[in-house]
């Protein structure tokens, strides 16, 4: 369920104080454990270190994020790829294609020597 409109959005008071002390665009990361704090327009341009249970993940706040929670941008679970031998073969084939493409792009650049005009 969403929060009641008469209550308004939850914003951590400590976080607002820290935002008030800094200037917008400042590169300082504001560390916070308040993942449930709603992003408000005063937070635009600041970088927050949102704790995900292990480390503080840097989150740069933009206009599109207003109304969302800080915790939405700091994932708490690690995504693990599944697959065995077949998955490894696909990844190896993809890597080999990238290597061949890089060599093909590099070869014409090395082989093309500037033409020297002869004087006769």
- Check residue 117 and give its pLDDT: 60
Domain-embedded: residue 83 = no
- pLDDT digit string, tens, across residues 81-108: 676 778 888 888 998 998 888 888 877 6
What's the 3-state SS for 54-103? CCEEEEECCHHHCCCEHHHHCCCCCCCCCCCHHHHHHHHHHHHHHHHHHH
Domain-embedded: residue 13 = no
Among 10, 12, 4, 3, smallest CA distance to 51 is for 12
- Check residue 85 and give its pLDDT: 79
CATH of the domain at 59: 3.30.860.10
Domain-embedded: residue 31 = yes
Structural tokens at position 89: 């073969």
Number of structural domains the chain divides into: 1
Domain-embedded: residue 33 = yes
Domain-embedded: residue 105 = no
């Amino acid at each position: 369920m969403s929060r009641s409109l008469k209550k308004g959005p939850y914003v951590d008071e400590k976080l607002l104080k820290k935002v008030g002390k800094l200037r917008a665009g400042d590169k300082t990361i504001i560390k916070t454990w308040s993942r449930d704090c709603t992003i408000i327009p005063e937070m635009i341009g600041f970088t927050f270190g949102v704790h995900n249970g292990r480390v503080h993940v840097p989150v740069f706040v933009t206009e599109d994020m207003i109304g969302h929670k800080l915790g939405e941008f700091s994932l708490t679970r690690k995504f693990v790829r599944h697959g065995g031998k077949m998955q490894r073969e696909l990844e190896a084939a993809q890597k080999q294609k990238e290597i061949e493409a890089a060599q093909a792009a590099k070869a014409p650049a090395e082989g093309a020597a500037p033409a020297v005009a002869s004087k006769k």
